[in-house]
Amino acid sequence: MQFVRTSGARLTFPAVAIGLAGSLLLSGCASQTTAPPPTTAELCASLKDVVAQSETRFRKFKTTPTISPFSGMTKWETRPVFPDSQCDVLEWVGGRTNYACTWPDGSEAEARATYEKNAGLIAGCLTAPWSKAETRGQTGGATTFTQRGKSTQVVMRYFKPRGGFMPTWETSLTIGDEITSEPR
């Protein structure tokens, strides 16, 4: 199949198809824009919203659950508070529910940098009546934010998982009741 231009030059079907596909690809890429990173005020508002939802066991964030028969937990994927994190609402067999996020860090330095950056942001967001306590262990550290008389805690951690054969480190944020945050 051939197409004829008004100038008289002939174009073959494959050339036209490739040209159309290329222009569609380029226009698709040009129209996609990366959202600007959230401001500190937006991050604080998002964090405070998640903390407030702990009183309802994060009902607002529960959509389609994934039930794990082996761990005794139900999981709902949800929106992250901080960019570059993966967040879920986790409901354990005993009824405890947490909002939990992780970052894909590799080295101890990367995990510590993610931890320090986000713990600093949280400290700026959760001011009085919140208080913070920092703990360190052999393979990590944690900053726990609490309010007197309230059961909700916000815990930012970095750690090397136990029993891992890979030399990777992780960073996590957990919001909810009765959080075990002791670094190892």
pLDDT classification of 160: cutoffs 50, 70, 90 = confident
**Which pLDDT belongs to residue 182?**
47
pLDDT of amino acid 178: 65
Q: Quick one: residue 23, left, alpha or beta (phi over 0 = left, psi -120 to 50 = alpha)?
A: alpha
pLDDT tens readout for residues 6-57: 444 454 444 433 443 444 334 444 445 677 888 999 999 999 999 999 988 8
Model confidence at 71: pLDDT above 90: no
Distance CA 66, CA 76 (A): 6
pLDDT of residue 181: 46
- Based on C-alpha coordinates, what's the Rg of the chain? 24
pLDDT category at 164 given cuts 50, 70, 90 is: low
pLDDT at 32: 54
CA 174 vs CA 20, 34, 69, 86: distances in Å: 49, 27, 22, 12
If one compares 159 and 138, the residue with the highest pLDDT of the two is 159
Q: Which residues contact 107 (CB under 8 A, 6 or more apart)?
A: 167, 168, 169
Per-residue three-class SS string for 104-151? CCCCHHHHHHHHHHHHHHHHHHCCCCEEEEEEEECCEEEEEEEECCCC
Q: Considering the entire predicted model, what is its pTM?
A: 0.74
Q: Can you tell me the distance from the alpha carbon of 75 to that of 69, in angstroms, rounded to the nearest whole number?
A: 11
Q: Report the alpha-carbon angle 135-139-140, nearest 5.
A: 40
Q: Hey, where are the domains in the chain?
A: 2-31, 40-176
Question: What confidence category does residue 165 fall into, taking pLDDT thresholds of 50, 70 and 90?
Answer: low
pLDDT of residue 154: 96
Q: Does 140 or 183 have the greater pLDDT score?
A: 140
- The single-letter code of the amino acid at 159 is F
Quick one: pLDDT band at residue 94, thresholds 50, 70, 90? Answer: confident
The residues, any chain, with a CB within 8 Å of residue 49's CB and separated by 6 or more, are: none
User: Per-residue pLDDT tens for 103-154?
Assistant: 887 888 999 999 999 999 999 999 999 999 999 887 889 999 999 999 899 9
What pLDDT is attached to residue 26? 41
Q: Which residue has the higher pLDDT, 5 or 141?
A: 141
pLDDT score at 1: 44
